Chains A and B, each alone.
Chain A
């Protein structure tokens, strides 16, 4: 199952290698973005990033069983 395959109902994740490649791509983008930012705003950048994570965590809670 190496591609986005749909079952009878719902969404199925891409295959393991593709998930890893997607993760690496996103991590590379995040690392590059931080590298290009001035280091003086590292804390502010982290605070903004964590707030984004908090919002995403809150939105994801809609899928709690």
Chain B
């Protein structure tokens, strides 16, 4: 994924033109993620009761906590947990067929920002989505998913500072692949920390 995106967002700059495509792509991450956050929150508001009772707090924090703990164990390959994960990636062939590069960068960014239609590395994303639905607040959904969009955008912004060629991009992808187990380990441990804290917070709230 990163190879395709870095090529798309940097090719104009490599040809001596501006960084408009890059910024359009990064903005599309945020638009996609905040939009899906707002939608999930709105769906939750329709489906869940809004009264702030201790029972509801326990239900929301407890369910999110249990999900985070289970997915944390899954990230550490200690438990098989079903996920709604899709295997699809952004279509790399789009860069060959779509002529307007900025539009293509926006389409890529938006779809990656939405998150549900493409493969996501860590199941942490689904715990976040669950919490947004259960919390039932579009505003909280927007603010939370903005974190996901920013998390996607910042590394891309930093990587785009390097004017690397195709060989550099290949080396980068190979280098990143080697660190994948550590990414899952970090996600698993953070999910364990947060999951237990949500569960305890739900249980002690009266």
Contact = CB atoms under 8 A, between A and B. Distances in A.
A30 B178 contact: no
Interface string A27-61: 11111011101010011011101111111111111
Given A13-B77, A39-B205, A47-B144, A64 B131 contact: no
B57 to A, nearest CB: 6
B128 A64 contact: no
Contacts of A27: 69, 72, 192-193, 195-196
Contacts of B183: 60, 63
A64 B151 contact: no
A53 B145 contact: no
Contact of B57 (A43, A64, A65): A43
Nearest to A7: B178
A56 B182 CA distance: 13
Contacts of B184: 13
B122 A60 contact: yes
B197 A45 contact: yes
A53 B155 contact: no
A8 to B, nearest CB: 10
Interface size, B (range): 35 or more
Nearest to B147: A54
A60 B122 CA distance: 6
Contact of B128 (A30, A50, A63): A50
Contacts of B174: 9
Interface stretch (B93-101, B112-120, B161-169): B112-120
Contacts of A24: 192
Contact of B204 (A30, A34, A58, A64): A34
B120 A57 contact: yes
B61 interface: yes
Given A11-B182, A35-B204, A55-B150, A61 B120 contact: yes
Contacts of A62: 2, 121, 152, 155-156, 176
Contacts of B154: 58-59
Contacts of A52: 147, 190, 194
B78 interface: yes
8 contacts: A10-B178, A29-B196, A34-B204, A51-B143, A51-B144, A52-B190, A54-B128, A57-B151
Given A26-B189, A46-B61, A53-B191, 13 more contacts: A13-B182, A23-B72, A30-B195, A31-B196, A45-B197, A46-B201, A47-B144, A58-B153, A60-B120, A61-B115, A61-B121, A62-B2, A62-B152
